[in-house]
Amino acid sequence: MKRDLLKPTADVVFKRIFGQEKDITIEFINLFVEPPVPVVEITYLKQEMLADNRDGKVSVVDIRCTDTNNQHFILEMQVVHHEGFLNRQLLYACKAYAQQFNAGIHYAKTNPVYLLTILDYEILPGVQAWLHPFSFKHEFENIQLDGLSVRLIELGKRKKMDNFNLDNPLDRWITFLAEPEKLITMQKFDISVYPNLMKAVEILDRSNFTLEQQIAYDNHLFAVADINQSNIDSYE
C-alpha cells in the first residue's frame, strides 16, 4: 500500500521535523553548515527576534537554536520567491548577531551566527553550484571576518541535476527534501542503516499530524499554488 507522505518542504512539516527532532537537526546542520566546531547538542530558541529601535521589524524565522559552544543557527525553508529575498536573509543573520549586545556582551565575546536557507526553486540560474556559502571576506587578501555566515541550498536546481548518489549523505538529505518516497521504495537502498533519515521519513506520514496540522498543510499547498499561478499570469 502506498503511504501518504507529506512534503517536508511545507511549513508545518519542516517545523515539526527540524524544530522538534534534535538528532535530525544536528546531523543536518553538521552536513550542510559545516560549523568549525561540530554540533553535539542544541537548545531551541524562540522563532521571534523582537524589533529594535533601528528597524522596527519583528523577524520570525522557522528554526533557531544554539549549541553547547554558543554557536547560533537559523534554518529557513522558502518555497516562493519574492523581491528582496537576499536582503531579508542578511537582516535575519545580522539581527541574530546584533541582539547578543542587548545582553551586554563585549565585542570580543560575541558568538558566530549561521543561517541556512533551503529554496524550493532557483535563485542563481547562471551559477552551476546548488549549495552557496556566503561570508565576509577581504576583497583582495585571504582574510575573513568571522561572525556571520549564510548558506543557500537551491533545492530546485539540485533536483534538475538528478544523478543522485545515496552513498553521499548530502544527496540522501536532498532526496528526503525533494522526493522522500524514493527512500522507501528503492530496492537497493536500505534506509534502516541511517536512523535519523528513517525517523524523518516516518514523521512524514500524514497520520502523525493532527487534523489542525493537516488543514494547515493543505492550506499551505493551496496558497503556494495560487502564488505561483499568479506569478505566471503576471509574467504572461
Q: What is the pLDDT at residue 85? A: 86
Strand 113-119 versus strand 59-60 pairing type: unpaired
Strand 72-78 versus strand 113-119 pairing type: parallel
- The identity of residue 150, as a single letter, is V
CA 148 to chain centroid, in Å, comes to 16
Three-class secondary structure of residue 190 per DSSP: coil
- The identity of residue 174, as a single letter, is I
Question: In 10 A of CB 176, how many CB atoms?
Answer: 22
* pLDDT tens-place string over residues 188-209: 899 999 999 999 999 999 999 9
**Contact 75/18 with Cβ under 8 angstroms?**
yes
Confidence of residue 142 (pLDDT cuts 50, 70, 90): confident
Q: pTM value?
A: 0.89
Q: What is the pLDDT at residue 55? A: 52
Q: What is the pLDDT at residue 236? A: 44
Please give the grid coordinates belonging to residue 127. Answer: 551559477
Q: What is the pLDDT at residue 233? A: 47
- The identity of residue 175, as a single letter, is T
* pLDDT tens-place string over residues 27-71: 999 999 999 999 999 999 988 775 555 555 667 889 999 999 999
Three-class secondary structure of residue 79 per DSSP: coil
Please give the grid coordinates belonging to residue 185. Answer: 521504495
Which residues make beta-bridge pairs with 205?
5
